[in-house]
Amino acid sequence: MPYQYDLFVIGAGSGGVRAARMSARFGARAAIAEDRYLGGTCVNAGCIPKKLLVYAAHYAEDFEDARAFGWSDAKWDFDWRTLVANKDQEIQRLNDVYRNLLQTAGVELIHGRAVLQDQHTVTVGGRGYTAERILIATGGRPSIPDIPGQEYVISSDAAFHLEQLPGRIIIVGGGYIAVEFAGIFNGLGVDTMLLYRGELFLRGFDAETRRFLAEQMRKKGIKLLFNTNLTRVRREGSEYGARTTAGEVLWADTIMYATGRVANTTNTGIAELGLALDKKGAIIVNADYQTSVPSIYAIGDVTDRHNLTPVATAEGTAFARNQFSKQPMRVDYHNIPTCIFSHPNLATVGLTEEQAREQNLDPVIYKTTFTPLKHTLTKNPEKTFMKLIVDRTTDRVLGVHMVGAEAGEIIQGIAIALNTGATKAQFDATIGIHPTLAEEFVTMREPATP
């Protein structure tokens, strides 16, 4: 049976666009459908706008630190609406870039919500399209628990478009988004409180590194309440009262939930077609990103495995190469570096200390805490923390963790070393760049005392 397309992609986020573009360049007849915005969450309500807000939030601290370096006081006025407008302008530019990339590659862009009809057919706006392969790359969306007063809270998506900056904010959650927005709002002068139901936020990261970040955030004035959750929210005038599990009522001008994201699989025809889903509603795929329906594939956050933009783009590349080229590839999911753009940053690659011990690897731990050179002149109490996890038997570096300025930039380079199997001896033999924060990773000589 002849099909209109070799590939029809549902969702024009990072993974979907990469898969469509590369498939078209390999000669496939490709189309992509999107009902919201080009670039997906990352470009429009995630990585890019969030990082721009992170930059903005650093300036108040930078201005204060500048005094120690001889800069005289100046009056600085922050305007939230100017920041939002400039951010939106940049996002629009990126939307246009994605559109041009698709057009240049020869991918047909279809505006509207795509719904699966059968294993080779989707409909968009009532019109049917057939394809030999269908790729689902619809990403995820914020999830807010069903509590009384839910209508009074906002998600992280809405936080990018607030009409005005609140004086006080309560953020509920303990993952990337919650921790990053706590730093953003605090840096912009908002009285910020972060609530998390567990013992310590950023579950899954190295425990010692998480504790250090919590300490640094508290020094910056962020109120952290762990083992705390909300049971209801009520409104009184322009204020919102949040009742905690301890019975206390906390007041704020805005309450934001960042308690996780769920796969975008509703109202897409996925359930009706019988695609296998996990207990959280994400699509189950095999090593080739194939779903339980052989002609339908899925990549990125909709599979809820490694929910990071670079992973989605890597999967898009792998899918295109495996399906339409003679250059097959597999994505290596080991040693994926990641960064929390908190204040200060937390970045990591490889195993945590806990994971190394769980795997019976007998790790040797190297770590250091110090005041960065910049802050030897300022009154800023921020410190930097670095940690190496080394296999005692092989001397191989298993994990690297950092809390401090530009941690993401530093760990990105170190991730290359871990992926080549670098040993502690090779770290030690590397000459550092002085004076930098990063040089500490090649000067730690003595293991930490157990």
H helices then E strands: how many in the chain?
A: 12, 22
Residue 377 DSSP symbol: T
Two tokens at 339? 């960064």
Size of the chain, expressed as the number of residues it contains:
450
Query: Residue 344, preceding bond cis, omega within 30 degrees?
Result: yes
- Contact call for residues 322 and 304 (beta carbons, < 8 A): no
| Active-site residue identified among 111, 343, 401, 434 | 434
CA distances from 185 to 78, 121, 243, 406, 434 (A): 13, 45, 22, 19, 34
Cα gap 256→144, rounded to integer Å: 9
- Contact call for residues 44 and 37 (beta carbons, < 8 A): yes
The reply to whether 111 belongs to the active site is no
Kind plus residue range of the DSSP H or E element containing 168: strand 168-172
What one-character-per-residue DSSP string does 96-142 give? HHHHHHHHHHTPEEEES-EEEEETTEEEETTEEEEEEEEEE---EEE
- Contact call for residues 354 and 206 (beta carbons, < 8 A): yes
- Contact call for residues 260 and 173 (beta carbons, < 8 A): yes
Question: β-pairing, 254-257 with 168-172?
Answer: parallel
Longest dimension (CA), the chain: 75
Two tokens at 365? 């731990």
φ/ψ of residue 136, rounded to 5: -95, 120
CA distances from 151 to 193, 197, 234, 237 (A): 20, 21, 9, 15
∠ Cα 24 116 259 (to 5°): 95
Helix axes 47-66, 176-187, angle to 10 degrees: 40
Residues with active-site annotation:
434
